[in-house]
Amino acid sequence: MEAVADTMVDVRAALRRDARRRTATALLLVLPLALFLLLTFLVPIGALLWRAVDNPEIARAVPRTVAALARWDAESPAPDAAYAAFVADLLALREQTDAGMLARRLNTEVGGARSLVMNAWRAQPLPATGDAAAVRAQLIALDPRWEEPWIWQAIAKNGARLTPDYLLAAVDLKRTTDGSIVTMDADRSAFRRILARTFGIAAIVTAITLVLAYPLAWWLSTMAPRRANVLLIIVLVPFWTSILVRVAAWIVLLQSGGLVNQTLRGIGLIDEPLALLFNRTGVVIAMVHILLPFMVLPLYSVMKSIPREYVRAAVSLGSHPLAAFVRVYVPQTYAGVAAGGLLVFILAIGYYVTPALLGGPEDQMLSYSVAQYANVHLDWGMACALGSVLLAATLVLYAVYRRFARMEPALA
Amino acid sequence: MAETPLVRFAGVQKSYDGITLAVRDLDLDVRRGEFLTLLGPSGSGKTTTLMMLAGFETPSGGEILFDGRPITRTPPHRRNFGMVFQNYALFPHLTVGDNVAYPLTVRRVPAAEREQRVATALEMVRLGGLTARRPDQLSGGQRQRVALARALVFDPAMVLMDEPLGALDKQLREHMQVELKDLHRRLGVTFVYVTHDQGEALAMSDRVAVFNDGALQQVDTAERLYEEPANRFVSGFVGDNTALAGRVAAIDRDFADVALECNATLRGRLIGPAAPGAAVQVAIRPERVVVRESGGPNTVPATVQDIVYLGDHLRLRCGIDERTTATVKHPVGSGSPPAIGARTHLEFPAEHVRIYP
């Protein structure tokens, strides 16, 4: 008995050794890719998420002021100690760029903060030192706005190293001075509208690509593989040219004197040229054109694996061919529809160049705002917060897709 | 008098490319309630024939009559034939119950009756209780039965089967053959069955239609097909066969003497017209050949090349000359078994020798 048990232990140990060796080999094989993904994908995404909540400027520039305001109620006049600490902080800022960064950061919070802070910095050193009340009086003498609470509220609110403000602003929410979260005023809010527009355009584009791609993919799937491959290459032709070339081509085609309008007028369908450019129509046409292959390919690969016998069987059982197609064939393509739809939708919500070049101001998508904040306002916090919202939307979509795929085990 | 056949193929032709005929001039009747098997090698036209009957292929010429009425241009979903496919073709997104209920929902059968009939059909193929399963949770044999239940549940006028047992392993296949035959006997529905497996065809069918190269070769019962093949192809395709080449030496009414290449002369039944001197094929079943110690009438000298022990009999491979071998089924216990390399004589009894032009 014991001998048998010993043998079993040996066998198990050998199995474990074998499994370990195989795992090690597998890890070695994927290591280069894993490193590549870490450096080019995970680290940037981490940086993006970090920057969306990172708020270093004020905590770094005026640490004493932040400490002095820690127990302030944000309603009453700021304590004298805060004035003294602020002046001490300003004195510590040697370079103008440091002061400028502080001023710019506070200016994004409240208008007029830039000149206020820069004037105070240039007035340094103030004559009085030591007595906090005297410092306060001097600062107010320099600019009476120092008596008002808003600049101190802005400093106190952003004293923390991490802030939810960017993320809140990305969905049109803001934190009030007492810490509660409220909806932004209608005249300042824009992102919910842009977000809704982004999802709306992506949904329309996905729906149109599905309608166009489904019959095409079905037709391809019924063909001999050789011919189908040739036609698939034609489907992929849009990928052969750069996106800018394609957009330029669309501008030529869609303009009011362009080929499309001329043709439609030539055959007498319209009297006035249709507005196809610099509006939603142009954006949708170009995006559908570019994204179509991403819908065709998953659909084709799913449809190719569905034997013709299914529809034949349904027909032989008395189903009208059309009903057989809808009841038997279409449900089996749901996996392809879901995969293609997800792919097109996720790619579409990130579109930037096409709406920027072919759309009007009311057709810009969230990526445009990201670029605007990153390139024009140099507000990386806001840019990254908007990027995080896109990322979150993508993840939510993917979770929905997974749930859907699990519900249909036969399709997964 | 002859009653109207259930199905009549009248001069039916089918060509896919306009040059070659996949089925040529087919005249075939399917009798009411019979189990008819279409047998043939791949590309012989048997599946095309079934598909034309089902309505998935349109004949290039001729007419298909059902109960005396032409159905050549009736679309498949109006023909009311149950069909079983080789790959089962169970809808993977539906449960077993919904699969079997499919033809009933199409026919708008009320829900209560539908449920009842689905249960009965599944009971009939001995799959009661598996209604809620999905097809991918079933074994191959179970899927086959579901496909069968689905093809039978709506009381079709006929059931068509396209190599339905092809994907099963040998043991299960033989088991399903018995069940199919039994089901056919109980239900009395006409079955038209396509297979390339002659054993399957002989085991199940009332009649077998043998196809080759697009043409119908012979339609007959299993026994007559085996014992009295109408031509060379049928004799070679159905059952084992020893075939020897020779020339007609003399003709005597139904019989003829054939001079073989090995200088022996054999007498046998002449099937079809042949003139003296014509090249013919002499064929005999292995169980009809008798091993003799010495020569005599209708014997050929041979050398035993190989012996296979098969339990109830021995299978001898005997060389007649360099190129020709004969297969002999030798009963165990009937005389001393020959040894490999032994010179022996094979008697081909004239009444079992068939001579094909």
Q: Which residues of A touch B164 (CB under 8 A)?
A: none
Q: Is A411 on the interface with B (CB under 8 A)?
A: yes
Identical fold for domains B7-234 and B240-356, yes or no, is no
pLDDT of residue A409: 45
A191-407 adopts what CATH topology?
MetI-like fold (1.10.3720)
> B270: exposed, middle or buried (C-beta count within 10 Å: 0-12, 13-18, 19+)?
buried
Considering CB atoms only, which of B92, B107, B136 is closest to A318?
B107
Asked if A410 lies within 8 A of B136 by C-beta distance, the reply is: yes
Output B55-59 pairs: Cβ under 8 A, ≥24 positions apart: B55/A316, B55/B79, B55/B81, B56/A312, B56/A315, B56/A316, B57/B14, B59/B12, B59/B13, B59/B14, B59/B23
Q: Is B56 part of the contact surface with chain A (CB cutoff 8 Å)?
A: yes
Question: Which CATH number is B7-234's, of 3.40.50.300, 3.30.10.20, 1.10.150.120, 3.90.950.20?
Answer: 3.40.50.300
pLDDT 10s digits, B297-333: 888 888 888 888 888 888 888 888 777 888 888 887 7
Strands B7-14, B23-30: pairing is antiparallel
d(CA A50, CA A381): 9
A334-345: b or e for each residue (b if 16 or more CB lie within 10 Å)? bbbbbbbbbbbb
Does any CB of chain B come closer than 8 Å to the CB of residue A320? yes
- Using 50, 70 and 90 to split pLDDT, how confident is the model at A301? very high
Tell me the two tokens of residue B338: 């020959």
Q: Are A97 and A60 in contact (CB under 8 A)?
A: no
A316:B54 CB<8 A: yes
Q: Does B103 touch chain A (CB under 8 A)?
A: yes
Mean pLDDT of A130-153: 86
B103, A321: Cβ pair inside 8 Å? no
Range of weakest confidence among A270-279, A402-411, B16-25 = A402-411
Locate A208 and state its tokens.
């149109």
Kindly list the distances between the CA atom of residue A196 and the CA atoms of A192, A257, A365, A366, A400, in Å, as whole numbers in the listed order.
6, 32, 9, 9, 18
Token couple for A174: 């803001």
Select from A343, A296, A339 the least CA-distant residue to A202.
A343
List the single range of A267-271, A322-326, B10-14 with lowest mean pLDDT.
Answer: A267-271
Q: Which of left, alpha, beta for B285 (phi over 0: left; psi -120 to 50: alpha)? A: beta
What's the topology of domain B240-356? OB fold (Dihydrolipoamide Acetyltransferase, E2P) (2.40.50)
Q: Is A124 on the interface with B (CB under 8 A)?
A: no
* Chains A & B: contacts with CB separation below 8 Å: 75
Which residues touch B273 (CB under 8 Å, ≥6 apart)?
B357
Tell whether B345 lies on the interface with A, counting CB pairs under 8 A.
Answer: no
Query: Between B335 and B137, whose confidence is greater?
Result: B137
How many C-alpha atoms does A226 have within 13 Å on its Cβ side?
0
* Longest CA pairwise span in chain A (Å): 100
Rg of chain A's alpha carbons, rounded to an integer?
31
H/E stretch holding A8 reads: helix A2-37
**What's the pLDDT at B2?**
60
Could you tell me which residues come within 8 angstroms of residue B342 by beta carbon, excluding any fewer than 6 positions away? B303, B304
Q: Which residue of B has its CA nearest to A312?
A: B56
- Yes or no: say if B46 and B200 are a contact pair by the CB < 8 Å rule: no
Suggest the residue from A315, A316, A328 to mutate for an interface test with chain B (most B CBs closer than 10 A): A316
**pLDDT of amino acid A410:** 43
Q: Please tell me the predicted confidence (pLDDT) of residue A131.
A: 81
Which tokens belong to A92?
A: 């510590």
According to the model, what pLDDT value does residue A411 have? Answer: 42
A405 Cβ under 8 Å from any chain B Cβ: no
Q: What is the pTM of this model?
A: 0.78
Instruction: Provide the residue type at A162 as one letter.
Output: L
The predicted-structure confidence for A23-43, as pLDDT tens digits, reads as follows: 999 999 999 999 999 999 999
The verdict on A49 touching B (C-beta cutoff 8 Å) is: no
Average pLDDT over residues A197-206: 95
Q: Which residues of A touch B135 (CB under 8 A)?
A: 410
Q: Hey, is B198 helix, strand or coil?
A: helix
B312 φ, ψ to 5°? Answer: -85, -15
pLDDT (average), residues A285-291? 92
> Can you tell me the mean pLDDT for B37-53?
93
* Contact (CB<8Å) A411/B93: yes
Rg (alpha carbons) of chain B, rounded to whole number:
25
Tokens standing for residue B340: 């490999």
CA distances from A215 to A205, A271, A308 (A): 16, 32, 16
pLDDT of residue B334: 66
A294 by Cβ neighbours in 10 Å (0-12 / 13-18 / 19+) ranks as buried
Provide the CA A66 distance to its chain's centre, in angstroms.
33
Tell which residue, A174, A175, A149, A176, has the closest CA to residue A69. Answer: A149
d(CA A375, CA A390): 18
Q: State the amino acid at position B66 in one-letter form.
A: F
Smallest Cα distance from A327 to chain B, Å = 10
Q: What is the DSSP string of B62-85?
A: EEEEETTEE-TTS-GGGS-EEEE-
Nearest chain A residue to B95 by CA distance is A410
pLDDT digits (tens, 9 = 90+) for B52-97: 999 999 999 999 999 989 999 999 999 999 999 988 899 999 999 9
ipTM for the predicted complex: 0.82
Reply yes or no on whether the pLDDT at A333 is more than 70: yes
Q: List CB contacts (< 8 A) between B102 and chain A.
A: 314, 317, 319, 327
The predicted pLDDT at position B1 comes to 44
Structure tokens given for A6: 């010993």
pLDDT of A412 above 50: no
- The verdict on a CB contact (< 8 Å) between B160 and A316 is yes
Tokens encoding B53: 């009957």
What is the spatial distance between Cα B35 and Cα B189, in angstroms, rounded to a whole number?
8
For residue B54, the chain A residues in CB contact (below 8 A) are 316
- What's the CA gap between A252 and A270, in Å, rounded? 19
On the question of pLDDT at B184 being above 80, the answer is: yes
Q: Which of B85, B108, B143, B148 to probe by mutation at the A interface, max A CB count within 10 Å?
A: B85
Closest CA to B289 of B243, B249, B220, B237: B243
A317 contact B CB<8A = yes
Contact with chain B for residue A324, Cβ under 8 A: yes
Q: What is the pLDDT of residue A156?
A: 87
User: What average pLDDT does range B279-296 have in this prediction?
Assistant: 85
How far is it, in rounded angstroms, from Cα B82 to Cα B149?
10
In this structure, which long-range contacts are made by residues A36-45, counting pairs with CB atoms below 8 Å and at least 24 apart in sequence?
A45/A391
Compute the distance between CA of residue B281 and CA of residue B313 in angstroms, rounded to an integer: 27
Residue A389 gets the label, from left (phi > 0), alpha (psi -120 to 50) or beta, of alpha
Average pLDDT over chain A, rounded to whole? Answer: 88
Per the DSSP assignment, residues forming a β-bridge with B255 are B252, B269
B93/A331 Cβ within 8 A: yes
Domain layout of chain B by residue ranges: 7-234, 240-356
Query: Does the N-terminal peptide bond of residue B135 adopt cis geometry, omega within 30 degrees of 0?
Result: no
pLDDT surpassing 60 at residue A1 = no
Instruction: Show residues of chain A in contact with B155, CB under 8 Å.
Output: none
User: Is residue B55 within 8 Å of residue B75, measured between CB atoms?
Assistant: yes
Q: How far apart are CA A96 and CA A122, in angstroms?
A: 9
Distance from CA of A210 to the nearest CA of B (A): 21
Percent of chain B with pLDDT over 90: 48
Q: Which of residues 156-215 of B touch A (CB under 8 A)?
A: 160
Q: For residue A328, which residues of chain B lie inside 8 Å, CB to CB?
A: 91
Rounded to whole angstroms, the Cα distance separating B145 from B148 reads 5
The chain-wide mean pLDDT, for chain B, equals 89
B150 and A CB contact within 8 Å? yes
For residue A87, pLDDT beyond 70: yes
Q: Does residue A121 carry a pLDDT above 60?
A: yes
Q: Does the CB of A73 have a partner CB in chain B at under 8 Å? A: no
Instruction: Determine the pLDDT at residue B151.
Output: 94
> How high is the pLDDT of residue A216?
94
Angstrom distance (rounded) from CA B316 to CA B307: 5
Query: Looking at this protein, which amino acid is placed at residue B62?
Result: G
Q: How far is B324 from chain A (nearest CA, A)?
A: 44
